[in-house]
Chains A and B, each alone.
Chain A
Amino acid sequence: MTQYIIRRLLYSLPLLMGVNILTFVLFFVVNSPDDMARMQLGQKHVTVQAVANWKQQHGYDVPLLWNDSAQGGKKITDTIFYQKSVGLFLFRFGVSDSGRNIGADIKERAWPSLAVALPTLMVGLLVNICFALMMVLFRNSYLEHAGIVLCVILMSISSLFYIIGGQFFIGKVLRLVPISGYDDGMAAIKFLILPVMIGVFSGIGSGARWYRTLFLEEVEKDYVRTARAKGLSETQTLFQHVLPNAMIPILTGVVVVLPLLFMGSLIMESFFSIPGLGSYTIDAINSQDFAIVRAMVFLGSVLYVIGLLLTDISYTLVDPRVRLS
């Protein structure tokens, strides 16, 4: 398995390089270093000299990909691409164009994102699985039909409605929890209850229906009939046999997103004033801060690769027949 992991990690290097080049090209097709300087320097009194000065101070006064005026290897190394990209592979994200250390910012903002996303995922998983198992338990009854209708209704409503409705009803009318905000340590709990509740609730429709499909596929299999034949109750059959066998597709969907939980959710964090990473990339795109954009795209790619790798490893844990080679 170690060999497999090393091989997969090595495969990811050209992939990350490709992502990096693509981000670079896409960004600079839209924004030139002059545009970036003007954006950072503001609207007033921006002179040509000020733009040139900004570019020089931030290392954007060299060519993008190829430096014709340099000698030897410097034709490649004295370029914006080389100077801004090499550090990424060592996880040195450098300094944003507005002067902040990106690595420190990511570290600071990742925890609040995780504080919302992780409980939402875990509680959501539990609720969705329970709900799906209930529907399977009562399959072909009016309870299952009612459950499916409820799921379709829940799926059809925009998540924005849940957020605004939840804030209005629970925060404003009942005044049970704060409408938005965040705090450090345990004090954060009262602020997290509402976003987690809403996150879970808005995901029930699609989640429960998806898991129901997986469970239905399993309950028709021979081993389930055998389990029933040997006298196990329906709940024992479902929880002890069906659930473990349905774990592979569930894990596929869950483990791959685990590393990405750090990246946060734009809408959720925005409405609940969670100081996470959700808006970090979009704010950077709006302010044409290339340093942050490339760092976040790179980080996203790395986390996705890690997520896929973890998924593969988790298969071996839930299904002893799977061997990674």
Chain B
Amino acid sequence: MDPAVAYSSNEYTFISQIYEPPFQYHYLKRPYQVVPLTATRMPDVIYLNQRGEKLEEGANDSDIAFTDYMIEIQSGIPYQPHPALAQNAQGDYEYHRLSTAQIDSATSLYDFKSTGSRELTAEDYVYQIKRLAHPKIQSPIAEIMKNYIVGFDDFSKQAKDKPKAAIRGLPIEGATALSRYQYRIRIKGKYPQFIYWLAMPFFSPMPWEADVFYGQPGLADKNITLDWFPLGTGPYLLAENNPNRRMILLKNPLFHLETYPSEGEPEDKQKGLLVDAGKPLPFIDKVVFILEKETIPYWTKFLQGYYDASGIASDSFDQAIQFTGSGGVALTPTMLEKGIQLQTSVAVSSFYMGFNMLDATVGGATEQARKLRQAIAIAVDYEEYISIFTNGRGVAAQGVLPPGIYGFDDCMDAGGRATHGAVADDKTGINPYVYDNRDGRAQRKKIDAAQQLMTEAGYAGGIDPKTKEALILYFDTTATSVDDRPRMNWYRKQFEKLGIKLVIRSTDYNRFQEKMRTGNAQIFVWGWNADYPDPENFFFLLYGPNSKVQYGGENAANYHNPEFDRLFEQMRNMDNSEQRYRIIQQMQEVVRRDAPWVFGYHPKNFSLFHGWYKNLKPNLMANNQLKYTRIDTAARAEKRQQWNEPVFWPLALGGVVFVLMLLPAINAYRRRVRETVQ
């Protein structure tokens, strides 16, 4: 729950409602747009040369040595009530010098009865950036930010042996509070994607009082830590934190004025998404998250109306969803009868099958290896995979980018059909090395084409010329359970189409990671979930200097193509433009041709919501949607009552049957005690 540390989606579900970075994603507008949250406006971005002099707009990227982000925040934003901010009549903090007796008697944060608040200041944002750099905090983005924020690394070294709270007085070159409401972040060079980081909880404000309060010895032993009891300015505060049972968010009584957006996409008004425009947020007073480990009780309780929302597990998929004649999806009549709504959205994620480009057989830039990879890319039928293993919840990938990311060619819809009257040709949308373009539809090439590529690669009929036997390839995976067996068999069958014998090397997570780090894996499956909606966040997975074996980076395939790297370096710092779009398409083409990945699929999320759940619009980048959600509580109470009337008569019937069953026993016993000894 510490915004400097949290990086997983389940943590973001909570902290995004509690903490407020200066910027956020617009709830309704698409493509995703960053807008001010606590900031008064978007930041002023100033480019500087090596001497620190301001550059004119349109300056060459090569001249830009630093970029300043000047951010002004709103005045009058208070923190949630919290004991760390409680002050007595003299203005001293009540709980910053706790006695041993006070600590011994405390079992929870709520044992500190007094709470206080204060106004959010620019210094709090700067303090949080210092926290990101502090080695004791262990922020997962510290290593990345070292490359960007000026003085970040030096600050880390200086703060190394200091307690968390001691960094307040230690300056960091790249983050400075210019006034009570204005601060500046200075980064190295030009990095337009930095604005997306500023919309993530990592850059939320943190009052120094929090570290002073929680840093008192003895509190951590009682699990009274910032990690457990957050302190933010957001619409909700965490009232109960028991991840093993339930978490409760309550409306922050001091939440500043923020209103529901009054603009969105053209169809939003028609869908009723602008009904609450201009109304103060949040709409819900109390949100309860309950841990259900098993899908069966979870699903049943959703149908009973005790949960407002649910995903769809495989075993209840057929009960909830049916496929229409045109290949679309719809709710079953039972679901419609209950007034349940279905929301689908393609995740900003990619799953792929990677080849280790350092491997002697499948790797390398030779024509032979490339054709082998291209053949495999055709043979591994991900449309079939999606149909069998994900209940159709996915979109076969045509390239590196998932839908919703700039540069993804949206001439195709989720089903691979051309949309908006666009003409999908071999240069847009469809991967021409794996698919044929049939009237704008992507159709996987026939297996003959793959076999032909195998022959050209020197593996005619899948025979390895060195051994004169079937080519053996190795698939490294962490799939070790019985449940994974069908999936592994499916992979084997895909390779068998080419006469290749696929050996599955299942291993535990640690060994698999080790193989990947040392380059001992040959073929593997991997995935990536976007940090922010920019193509740079996906293409960097194939950038040579990010290779896993050589540099410990995220390029798990260890792909290195100078042409691709050059295009990436050119593209990564550009603002979105026609030129950037063209470069992205060139990069897609290079990767499709080289095939270091078999582009797998982008998962499609299916979520169900009851009819009383309002203002429903998928937003895959924002995590703070809760404040926009409205619940029709009267309708919910009525339906719950209606759906959950207890049925008592079988219980009475059971009782009668039990008594009847006892009668012969009673009779037999009586007979026995009256028997005379023979």
The answer to whether A and B assemble together is yes
A interface residue numbers (CB < 8 A to B): 30-32, 35, 38-39, 41-42, 44-50, 53-54, 57, 95, 99-101, 104-105, 108-109, 112, 134, 137-138, 141, 143, 164, 167-168, 171-176, 179-182, 233-234, 270-273, 275, 279, 288
Expressed in whole angstroms, the minimum distance between the Cβ of A43 and any Cβ of chain B is: 9
B616 touches A (CB below 8 Å): no
B646: A residues at CB distance < 8 A: 174-176
The answer for the CA separation of A112 and B291 in the assembled complex, in Å, is 14
The answer to whether B509 touches A39 (Cβ under 8 A) is yes
A38: B residues at CB distance < 8 A: 510, 513
The answer for the CA separation of A32 and B508 in the assembled complex, in Å, is 13
Q: Which residue of B lies closest to A102 (CB)?
A: B223
B290, B514, B647: the one contacting A173 at CB < 8 Å is B647
Interface residues of B in 653-678 (CB under 8 A from A): 664-665, 668-669, 672-673
Q: Which residue of A lies closest to B8 (CB)?
A: A42
A31, A46, A167: the one contacting B297 at CB < 8 Å is A167
The answer for the CA separation of A33 and B138 in the assembled complex, in Å, is 16
The answer for the CA separation of A276 and B552 in the assembled complex, in Å, is 40
Convert B504-517 into 0s and 1s, putting 1 for each residue whose CB lies closer than 8 angstroms to a CB of A.
00001110011000
Please choose the segment from B140-148, B173-181, B596-604 that sits at the chain A interface, where 4 or more of its residues have CB less than 8 A away: B140-148
B136 touches A (CB below 8 Å): yes
Interface residues of B in 507-556 (CB under 8 A from A): 508-510, 513-514, 531, 552, 554
The answer for the CA separation of A53 and B664 in the assembled complex, in Å, is 74
The answer for the CA separation of A56 and B524 in the assembled complex, in Å, is 32
The answer to whether A137 touches B293 (Cβ under 8 A) is no
Given contacts A179-B300, A234-B669, could you give 17 more A-B pairs where the C-beta distance is less than 8 Å? A35-B513, A38-B510, A49-B143, A50-B142, A57-B135, A95-B220, A99-B220, A104-B221, A171-B297, A171-B300, A172-B304, A175-B646, A180-B292, A271-B294, A273-B291, A275-B245, A275-B291
B244, B294, B554: the one contacting A275 at CB < 8 Å is B244
The answer to whether B293 touches A270 (Cβ under 8 A) is yes
The answer for the CA separation of A121 and B368 in the assembled complex, in Å, is 68
Task: List 10 A-B pairs, minimum CB-CB distance, nearest first.
Answer: A275-B245, A35-B510, A180-B297, A275-B244, A47-B143, A270-B293, A179-B297, A174-B647, A175-B646, A104-B223
Expressed in whole angstroms, the minimum distance between the Cβ of A230 and any Cβ of chain B is: 13
The answer for the CA separation of A134 and B662 in the assembled complex, in Å, is 11
The answer to whether A143 touches B242 (Cβ under 8 A) is no
The answer to whether A273 touches B645 (Cβ under 8 A) is no
The answer to whether A30 touches B508 (Cβ under 8 A) is yes
The answer to whether B297 touches A273 (Cβ under 8 A) is yes
Q: Please report the total number of B residues contacting A with Cβ < 8 Å.
A: 51
A100: B residues at CB distance < 8 A: 223, 228
Q: Which residue of B lies closest to A181 (CB)?
A: B290
The answer to whether B223 touches A45 (Cβ under 8 A) is no
B651, B665, B673: the one contacting A143 at CB < 8 Å is B665
Expressed in whole angstroms, the minimum distance between the Cβ of A94 and any Cβ of chain B is: 9
B228: A residues at CB distance < 8 A: 100
B141: A residues at CB distance < 8 A: 45
Convert B402-418 into 0s and 1s, putting 1 for each residue whose CB lies closer than 8 angstroms to a CB of A.
00000000000000000
Expressed in whole angstroms, the minimum distance between the Cβ of A102 and any Cβ of chain B is: 10
A48: B residues at CB distance < 8 A: 552
A50-B142, A109-B244, A174-B647 are contacts. A101–B291 as well, Cβ < 8 Å?
no
B650: A residues at CB distance < 8 A: 174
Pairs across A and B, CB under 8 Å, 27 listed? A32-B510, A39-B510, A42-B8, A44-B7, A44-B140, A45-B144, A48-B552, A50-B142, A57-B136, A95-B221, A101-B220, A101-B223, A112-B245, A134-B665, A137-B669, A141-B668, A167-B297, A173-B647, A174-B650, A175-B304, A175-B647, A179-B304, A234-B673, A273-B245, A273-B291, A279-B293, A288-B510
The answer to whether A174 touches B651 (Cβ under 8 A) is yes
Q: Which residue of A lies closest to B228 (CB)?
A: A100
B669: A residues at CB distance < 8 A: 137-138, 234
A176: B residues at CB distance < 8 A: 646-648, 651
Expressed in whole angstroms, the minimum distance between the Cβ of A262 and any Cβ of chain B is: 15
The answer to whether B665 touches A138 (Cβ under 8 A) is yes
A109: B residues at CB distance < 8 A: 244
The answer to whether B513 touches A47 (Cβ under 8 A) is no
Expressed in whole angstroms, the minimum distance between the Cβ of B385 and any Cβ of chain A is: 22
B221: A residues at CB distance < 8 A: 95, 101, 104
Q: Which residue of B lies closest to A112 (CB)?
A: B245
A57-B136, A174-B651, A275-B245 are contacts. A143–B664 as well, Cβ < 8 Å?
yes
Q: Which residue of B lies closest to A171 (CB)?
A: B300
B487 touches A (CB below 8 Å): no
Expressed in whole angstroms, the minimum distance between the Cβ of B477 and any Cβ of chain A is: 16
B143, B291, B296, B301: the one contacting A164 at CB < 8 Å is B296
